[in-house]
Amino acid sequence: MIQKASILMFLMSFAYFLQAQSIWDKWKELKEFHVVMSQTFHPSEQGSLEPIKKRSSEMAEKANILAKSTIPQEYNTPKIKTAVKKLQKGSKELDAFIKNSKASDEAIKQKLSTLHDVFHEIVGLCKNENH
């Protein structure tokens, strides 16, 4: 019984991986944004804000490119469009906030975390077959 459960979990994980791969393959601008998000958010979880402080302008630029990109047809829904605009706006605001010398590390971390949630909202909506 345990072996069947393990096999089922493996197959479900593999299917999830393949679906995630197809999102990145179909929407390269989302993939490019993800690279910057990943390389800045995960260090912030470990207490290092240097990556986002150095790359906030790049993140805002990638969000602008994403917002101007052609959304693949299967993901082109009002909810995804709204979330992409939210990501674009939030990235621009985060960049401006970081450039403000009075921005505290804790506030930067919170804003980046909120932006990370928006990014995952987009990915989640792309994975939802009903969009």
For residue range 82-106, what is the model confidence (pLDDT) as tens digits?
999 999 999 999 999 999 878 899 9
Q: Do the domain assignments include residue 19?
A: no
Q: Do the domain assignments include residue 42?
A: yes
Looking up tokens 């805002």 gives 60
pLDDT for the residue 117: 97
| DSSP secondary structure letters along 51-118 | HHHHHHHHHHHHHHHHHHSPPPGGG--HHHHHHHHHHHHHHHHHHHHHHSTT--HHHHHHHHHHHHHH
pLDDT for the residue 131: 45
pLDDT for the residue 5: 52
Which residues of the chain fall below pLDDT 70?
Answer: 1-21, 129-131
Structural domain for 32, as ranges: 26-127
Q: Do the domain assignments include residue 3?
A: no
Count of domains for the chain? 1
Using alpha carbons only, give the angle 130, 89, 29 rounded to the nearest 5 degrees: 60
Q: Do the domain assignments include residue 120?
A: yes
Q: Do the domain assignments include residue 82?
A: yes
What pTM, to 2 d.p., does this model score?
0.80
How far is residue 107's CA from residue 1's CA, in Å, rounded to a whole number? 48
User: Is the CB of residue 40 less than 8 Å from the CB of residue 108?
Assistant: no
User: Is the CB of residue 30 less than 8 Å from the CB of residue 122?
Assistant: yes
Q: Which pLDDT tens digit goes with each residue over 72-83?
A: 999 999 999 999
